[in-house]
Amino acid sequence: MRSKGQETVIALFRTADILRRHFSQTLEPAGITLQQYNVLRILRGAGPDGLPTLAIAERMLERTPGVTRLLDRMEEKGWVSRQRSAEDRRLVLCRATARGLDLLGELDAPIDAADDVVVERLSDRQCEQLLRALGQVRDGLENEETRE
């Protein structure tokens, strides 16, 4: 490796890929993707008022340009509903349906178990240290994005 920094960046990429595969395998039997699961979690947190499409996109773990297409597929599966705002016709409010919330409820335990597997070799102190370090990485990159 050229530097310890380069080694760290490559380790982050490899770890992110392994995490993505780990959670995708957990969700696969339920027929839901990581992005779809993320949207349902966001909408469950929003409650019955729902959220506009752009607010969902901003809260997603992975930024995706195709949020509308993602929501189209989720609506076809009966997991979300969309309704145009009466006050502002440009605004589309999205809500998790009962079917989507039921699916999330079924996935809570398997996802909790998958979370536990990821951190089982780390102490609480190591988790805190990792959280701080990752936060610093994100903060630095977000500051860099705002300067560009």
> pLDDT tens-digit profile of 41-51?
999 999 999 99
My answer on whether 59 and 98 are in the same domain is yes
Structural domain includes residue 64:
yes
Structural domain includes residue 110:
no
Structural domain includes residue 148:
no
My answer on whether 17 and 48 are in the same domain is no
What residues make up the domain containing 97? 32-105
Structural domain includes residue 80:
yes
Does residue 66 contact residue 56 with C-beta atoms inside 8 Å? Answer: no
My answer on whether 18 and 47 are in the same domain is no
Structural domain includes residue 66:
yes
Q: CA 10 → CA 16, 29, 62, distances in Å?
A: 10, 30, 18
What domain count does the chain have? 2
Contacts of 81 (CB under 8 A, 6+ apart): 75, 94, 95, 97
> pLDDT tens-digit profile of 2-34?
899 999 999 999 999 999 999 999 999 999 999
> What does pTM read for this prediction?
0.88
My answer on whether 22 and 37 are in the same domain is no
- Which CATH number fits the domain that encloses residue 48? 1.10.10.10
My answer on whether 36 and 101 are in the same domain is yes
Per-residue model confidence (pLDDT) at position 145: 67
CA–chain centroid gap for 28, Å, is: 15
> What is the Cα–Cα distance from 76 to 97, expressed in whole angstroms?
12
Q: CA 115 → CA 37, 43, 118, distances in Å?
A: 14, 20, 5
> pLDDT tens-digit profile of 55-103?
999 999 888 878 999 999 999 999 999 998 777 878 889 999 999 999 9
